[in-house]
Structure 1
């Protein structure tokens, strides 16, 4: 089974502002209107790429950006296609009642994870205001996908890009499964080293695996293998910021000699490729 572990729900104009779309799509080579994933487009993209399942993300940045992709919208999509989607809620710890909102999303709406966007909300992921949210996620047993790394959003606070900001969170919540989005790009090596220090941490390859050169991706995966955390990396695309078919093909190249690997390191084995492309993600959401 192929699982895309990082897919954004939402539709242009209905959910995202034109200004945000302009900023976010400028680095992809795609028009602003491409920041849209209506139901039929999303399913067609998955089918064309051979993607069986996706982690579908809500996105609450109302306080800073003035819009959101609501938890209810994602829950409705998941209810219509339970075999295709696992829904992740999104809350803003800078607003009152965030922990209660997460609890409602999981226990009443049926969502099975949490997506947070600290730098977009101009607050650190280690800000104590998040702690009640983390405690609730830990209690409910749901993973938390945290944006880490660069974003072209103009309102985002670059002080909160680094994945190393999650280290105190990992120490404070040792049973909380955290997924560091985008492998912390460009801080990929520190991100992998952080995973090696905390066994409950994971990371996804969205954007990094799609837009970095194949040798760069191979070098990061080789480092993850050496550090013993390759089995905690998840393939993802960040669709609609990237296409699924191209991303699947790029990952397939990493199983052959078509991509140069660092000296002393071999291409992905079939078992490693299967884990990256869905096995780890499936295991993560079954816990």
Structure 2
């Protein structure tokens, strides 16, 4: 099964503001109007690329950006296509009742993960205001996808880009599975170091895989292999900021062509390739009872 672990729901003007689209899209080479993912386009993109399932993300940044992609909107899409979408809620810990909204999104709306955007909300992912949200996610046994790394959004606070800010969260919530979005680019080495120290940390390749030179991607994946964390890296695109077919073509090259890889490394093995493309993502979102131990690597955590 091929799973895109980072896909945005939402439509231009209906959800995303024109100003936000104008800030975000120039780095992709696409016009602002391309920041849209209506239902038909989502399914067509997946079908054309051969993607079986997508982690479909809500996006709550209303307090700072003035818009949101609501949990209810994502839940409705997932209810219509339960075989194609796994829905991730989004909440803002800077507004009262965030943990309760997350609980409702999971137990009432049927969403199965959480997407947070701390730098967009101008707060640290380790701000104590997030603690009730993290505790609720840990109790409900759902993964948390956290934006890490650079974003061109002008209202975002660059102090909160680095993935290392999540280290106390990983330490204080050891059963909370946290996905570092975008591999924390440009702090990719820091992300891998964090993953080596904490086995509840994962990372996705969204945006990083699509726009960085293939040799740079191969070098980072080689580092992940050396640190024994490659089995916690997920393929993802950040659609509609990148296309699924192009991203999958780059993944295929990383499995077949030795040229981009460092001299002391080698292309992805079949096992690594299949884990990246969906095996790890499927394991992260397997239904489980709240309070049960989260799926984890067999390796001990390095403190």
For normalisation by structure 2, the TM-score amounts to 0.94
Match of 1:27, SS?
helix
Q: CA RMSD in A?
A: 0.6
Matched, 1:43 2:43: yes
Q: Which residue of 2 aligns with 1:126?
A: 126
Matched, 1:106 2:103: no
Judge conservation of contact 1:192–1:229 (CA < 8 Å) in 2: yes
Q: Which residue of 2 aligns with 1:90?
A: 90
Aligned residue-pair number: 287
* 5+ long unaligned stretches in structure 2: 289-303
Matches within 5 A, 1:212-231: 212-231=212-231
Q: Which residue of 2 aligns with 1:195?
A: 195
Judge conservation of contact 2:258–2:266 (CA < 8 Å) in 1: no
Judge conservation of contact 2:258–2:267 (CA < 8 Å) in 1: no
Shift of 1:259: 3.7
* 5+ long unaligned stretches in structure 1: none
Q: Which residue of 1 aligns with 2:160?
A: 160
Shift of 1:280: 0.3
Distance 1:136 1:46 in 2: 31
Q: Which residue of 2 aligns with 1:140?
A: 140
Q: Which residue of 2 aligns with 1:63?
A: 63
Match of 2:150, SS?
coil
Matched, 1:235 2:235: yes
Distance 1:132 1:186 in 2: 29
Judge conservation of contact 1:253–1:259 (CA < 8 Å) in 2: no
Q: Which residue of 2 aligns with 1:182?
A: 182
Match of 2:28, SS?
coil
Shift of 1:258: 5.3
Match of 1:102, SS?
helix
Shift of 1:28: 0.5
**Cα shift readout 1:76-121 (whole Å, capped 9, x = no counterpart):** 0000000000000000000000000000000000000000000000
Shift of 1:260: 1.9
Q: Which residue of 1 aligns with 2:255?
A: 255
Distance 2:73 2:237 in 1: 21
**Cα shift readout 1:126-156 (whole Å, capped 9, x = no counterpart):** 0000000000000000000000000000000
For normalisation by structure 1, the TM-score amounts to 0.99
Distance 1:137 1:224 in 2: 26
